[in-house]
Chains A and B, each alone.
Chain A
């Protein structure tokens, strides 16, 4: 499902470098990525999703060699195959809950917004307890409800791969557990691969495997004690 080989990535200022000789995650596997702030968790997630391109090496995701694809092809691949969940939910305040869930279909022409998709979006919302809130704006929702909307948005196109970047960081334990249950449930039902970046070691029990991303960071400026920025 995910295959990284001889990967090398550095930001332009040269202050941070990530090297991965080999990393494999099998289809349907649930993996937790840990590591202190600035160790490269989010960067690695973006490399796997094709948001960032490595300076060298190869990234294969869902059977596609992302490093061989042009920007447009990577975008089309990502929106069809990768469900992304962000720490800050990243909902659009001017759209209703339903429109936020359907957003992937409105921003990329490779997905077609049809009636069946709207039905699926409504079903997802109902499944996570948002069935009565479809017309509400995100500003009228609680934190937990917002993250559930963000999760629905990541699931609506039935992705094979779910990448969640600290999805529970802004949630209370109850809502955090609920969000993880939803992600876990989807991955199990759809045999999808789930990668969750987290700081929370209690969460790690849910995963088949835990990877410490800090082992890939070779930057001289990186502070293993966790003092750096989130990279």
Chain B
């Protein structure tokens, strides 16, 4: 057997291009379904664990999936808007804890999330460096944001603002007060500020020299919020009408949950309430269905590839007929010839399996990273 393996190995080494193509083909046939399974499993786990820790989400009417992706996974800036009075309405009923989210803006491609300290407690977000925000204009950034933007505590992140009072829309500079410890969730990718800061970004509030008329040259807006000028910051308009994008609600009891769910059934209601787990389950059902289709397609491709490989092997045996005849004349048995040819197939399959296994293990090890890159 050792000699058969030796001869098979020498043959494969000599025909390295053909060998490489065969190994690559089989590796892909083995690896692709495994990788798909690993990625889908990771995505399922990632999506479900986050959804499970978010009991209810209230948001504007429209796509429940977009609401959940925008407010639970900070998929992209969420365009829907609720008014702050929706938060008051839930709070006044004392049916549970309501946490507002305002996630409509980005800074250097990172989502800005306006919220309250309760959100940090809900998600168990702890600072690895610095502290939580205490002033208007301060932010605490997720671990990946710090890595991606190369910023740390004490640095500033500029963010475009919109305001009705000047044309130049001066950028506001967010002061980095802290960096959260890694959580391997969407929180790692976001910049957290208090709600008021997001309203300043939105142009509903600003700071300038006291007493100056809006729009006058003296009323130049502050772009840095400091201890010295923070008192000059003020908001215009009715606070109850101020925008938020969603409210995470942790109901006090099952009964409270049932009451809350019932309140948003009315067709006149401008808001909707969703259970993220149900929304994500529906999404994953589709993902799993797509995975099944993909595995079916891969199976067909695998079959075609295997048939092609069989053809390649049969043709190579025909091409080697003279060699086989020579060995046979010299005194080589059919069994030995078959074992040489079989060894070649075994070496190719083993090499492919080893590479595919290594790739699958790597995919598994970096599964959540891949999910983040490919899906989120």
A22 CB → nearest B CB, Å = 26
Contacts of B323 in A (CB 8 A): 90, 92
The answer to the question of A76 belonging to the interface, with a C-beta cut-off of 8 Å to chain B, is: yes
Given contacts A106-B3, A106-B6, A107-B3, contact A94 B333 (CB under 8 A): no
Is B10 on the interface with A (CB-CB < 8 A)? yes
How near does chain A come to B165, taking the closest CB pair, in angstroms? 81
Are B3 and A75 interface neighbours, CB within 8 A? no
Among A76-97, those with CB < 8 Å from B are: 76, 78-80, 84, 86, 88, 90, 92-95
- Asked whether A72 lies within 8 Å of B330 as measured between CB atoms, the reply is no
Q: A86-B326, A90-B322 are in contact. Are A108 and B331 (CB under 8 A)?
A: yes
A90, A94, A106, A107: the one within 8 Å of B13 (CB): A94
User: Could you tell me the distance between the alpha carbons of A90 and B326 in the complex, rounded to whole angstroms?
Assistant: 6
A113 close to B (CB within 8 Å)? yes
Docked-complex contact B336 and A51, CB < 8 angstroms: no
Q: Which of B1-15 contact A (CB under 8 A)?
A: 3, 6-7, 10-11, 13-15
Cβ distance B289 to chain A, nearest Cβ, rounded Å: 48
Name which of B7, B14, B329, B330 has the most chain A CB atoms within 10 A of its CB.
Answer: B330
B331's partner among A90, A104, A113 (CB-CB below 8 A) is A104
| A198 vs B3: C-alpha distance when bound (angstroms) | 34
**Is A76 a contact partner of B326 (Cβ separation < 8 A)?**
no
Tally A-B pairs: CB < 8 A.
Answer: 59
Q: Is A161 an interface residue (CB 8 A)?
A: no
Closest CB in chain A relative to B121 CB, distance in Å: 69
Say whether A113 contacts B3, CB under 8 Å: yes
Is B128 positioned at the interface, with any CB of A under 8 Å from its CB?
Answer: no
Shortest Cβ distance from residue B356 to the other chain A in the assembled complex, whole angstroms: 26
The contact string, 1 if C-beta is below 8 Å from chain A, for chain B 1-34, is: 0010011001101110000000000000000000
- By a CB distance below 8 angstroms, the chain A residues around B11 are 94
Q: Which residues 94-129 of A have a CB within 8 angstroms of B?
A: 94-95, 99, 103-109, 113
Contacts A94-B11, A94-B13, A99-B10 known; A108 to B326 CB distance under 8 Å? no
Q: When chains A and B are docked, how far (Å) is the Cα of A49 from the Cα of B14? A: 31
Q: What's the minimum C-beta distance from B37 to chain A, rounded to whole angstroms?
A: 38
- Measured between beta carbons, the chain A residues less than 8 angstroms from B336 are 107-109
In the complex, what residues of A have CB within 8 A of residue B322's CB? 88, 90
Given the complex, which residues of B lie within 8 Å of A79, measured CB to CB?
A: 330-332
Q: Write the nearest CB–CB distance from A157 to chain B, whole angstroms.
A: 10
Contacts A94-B10, A95-B10, A108-B336 hold; do A103 and B15 have CB atoms under 8 A apart? no
**Mask: chain A, 165-204; 1 = CB below 8 Å from B; 0 = not:** 0000000000000000000000000000000000000000
Contacts known (A92-B323, A107-B3); A49 close to B329, Cβ less than 8 A? yes
Q: Could you pull out 17 A-B pairs where Cβ atoms are within 8 angstroms?
A: A49-B329, A51-B329, A71-B333, A72-B333, A75-B332, A76-B331, A78-B331, A79-B331, A90-B322, A90-B323, A92-B323, A92-B326, A94-B15, A104-B330, A107-B336, A108-B330, A109-B336
Spell out A's residues near B (CB within 8 Å).
Answer: 46, 49, 51, 71-72, 75-76, 78-80, 84, 86, 88, 90, 92-95, 99, 103-109, 113, 137
Give 4 nearest A-B pairs by CB, closest first.
A79-B331, A94-B14, A107-B332, A90-B326
Give 20 new A-B contacts, CB below 8 A, not counting A103-B327, A106-B6: A46-B329, A75-B332, A75-B333, A78-B330, A79-B331, A86-B329, A92-B323, A92-B326, A93-B14, A94-B10, A94-B11, A94-B13, A94-B14, A95-B10, A104-B331, A106-B7, A107-B3, A107-B7, A107-B336, A113-B3
